[in-house]
Amino acid sequence: MIDYYEVKSQPITRVMVWQAYRKVRANKGAAGIDHMGWQDLEQDLPRQLYKLWNRLSSGSYFPKPVREVVIGKKGGGERRLGIPTILDRIAQEVVRAHLERVVEPLFHKDSYGYRPGRSCHQAVGKLSERAQCHDWAIDLDIRSFFDTIDHELLLQAVRHYCPDKWVLLYIGRWLQAGIVQQDGTALDRLTGTPQGGVISPLLANVFLHVAFDKWMEKHHPGKPFERYADDVVVHCKSEKQAQYVLASIRSRVEACKLQLHPDKTRIVHLRGTSEKKYPRSLDFLGFTWRPHWRQTSKGMRLMVSHFISTKSISSVLHKLSRMHIHRWRKPLEEVAQVLRPVIQGVINYYCRFWSSHTHYLWLQLNTRLLKWAKWEKGLPMREAVRWMRKRYREKPGLFPHWQLVRP
């Protein structure tokens, strides 16, 4: 009889490995430097997982280097991801699940990134609430955060909350695992934890919990903030307060061997007047907060509200442009079937609180659909408009965005 709860020198059971496999398998993901895909693993699954458990539980497990993948950022530039092998991701999930149970109850209530039961929308809602009573905000951007985390400080933070030797052993080995670049060059990693690893977001939260969250709670308890991973917004009541808090945070960040981005970190003046000119808008999690006049029961009032950001609009329109909708030679129902997941995803995220700020985006999509009708049906533009409006009357729910902006 197989004992799935059998342990060796390290307190890791076979059940922990199988549970980690199911979690990682559900998230899918690409192969690492060994080119082992999910189909390759599942052809020999029991033996592979037994070998992994045997090495983890005996302390003889050593991870392979990660495979570097470069992707573009919304605002330009590149983000470098490190993709571990599938077996290394399963091993990371074993440690992550154990470490999360220890540290999750200790995390700050205003930390929202990569936490169970927490979401971007909660952070957006809290920022909107606090922007109504705080005229100033500090938009913090840590330069190359995941690439510059100090390994020694990170292990100290983990050790403070979770002294289990096997957890520290394997985290240390993952941090020191090298990187294989796209040209095949192998590099040693002296700092940072690769984005793309299963455990990296949790390690980042542990580090920032000590470096920022607890420090703010102790030294600036009256300054509320929202943090989503390394994206942080701090609220202040006055210009002098914002300047003082930013200088204090900069010193703290440098003491933790990190740097604030000199261009992206800034003080934002959301409402009111000041002698010095400051930015009047704030970007966070794909939204922009800026002051605008709104009709209320007490008349017109200057409010701070969130809108879909310019970068987000450009990103969605760029995705639609690459799809070349006007070239599709297929019925409108099939066009709707392909576009529906994209449209619904945008609506679910950006229209959670209100939707009129996305109207420009849907007008642009309707223009592309009219162009498709013009090419597909061989109609002049006026006839294409009539034809599309007729289809709307017949099936108003064909495209999800038609409920927000009619064709």
In the chain the domains, ranked by start, together with CATH numbers, are 14-269 (3.90.1850.10), 310-394 (no CATH)
Residue 5 in this model has a pLDDT that exceeds 60: no
Helix, strand, coil content of the chain in percent (nearest 5): 50, 15, 35
**Strand 179-180 versus strand 66-72 pairing type:** parallel
| CA–CA dist 76, 376 (Å, integer) | 35
Question: Residue 41 in 3-state DSSP?
Answer: helix
CA angle 217, 219, 224 (to 5 degrees): 45
Percent of the chain with pLDDT strictly greater than 70: 96
State residue 286's pLDDT score: 96
Nearest to 68 by CA among 54, 79, 82: 82
Q: Give the span between the Cα atoms of 171 and 193, in whole angstroms.
A: 10
Q: pLDDT per residue over 235-246, tens digit each?
A: 999 999 999 999
What does the pLDDT read at residue 272?
86
Of 175, 176, 142, 111, whose CA–CA distance to 258 is shortest?
A: 142
- The model's confidence at residue 1, banded by pLDDT at 50, 70 and 90, is very low
Determine the Cα–Cα distance for residues 63 and 173; give it in Å rounded to an integer: 7
Q: Specify burial of residue 311 (Cβ count, 10 A radius: 0-12, 13-18, 19+).
A: middle
Cβ neighbours for 323, distance < 8 A, ≥ 6 positions apart:
338, 339
The amino acid present at 35, given as its one-letter code, is H
Write out pLDDT tens, residues 12-64.
999 999 999 999 999 888 888 998 999 999 999 999 999 999 999 999 999 99
- Report the C-alpha gap between 21 and 27 in whole angstroms: 10
The pLDDT tens digits of the residues spanning 273-324 come to 888 999 999 999 999 999 887 777 777 777 889 999 999 999 999 999 999 9
Helix (H, G, I), strand (E, B) or coil at 269: strand
* pLDDT score, position 204: 95
Helix (H, G, I), strand (E, B) or coil at 67: strand
Closest CA to 387 of 397, 376, 403, 400: 376
Distance (Å, rounded) from C-alpha 336 to C-alpha 399? 6
In Å, how far are 137, 182, 234, 254, 301 from 260, measured between CA atoms? Answer: 16, 28, 14, 8, 35
- 3-state secondary structure (DSSP) of residue 110: coil
**Which tens digit of pLDDT belongs to each residue from 303-316?**
889 999 999 999 99
Decide: 196 and 69 in contact? Cβ < 8 Å. Answer: yes
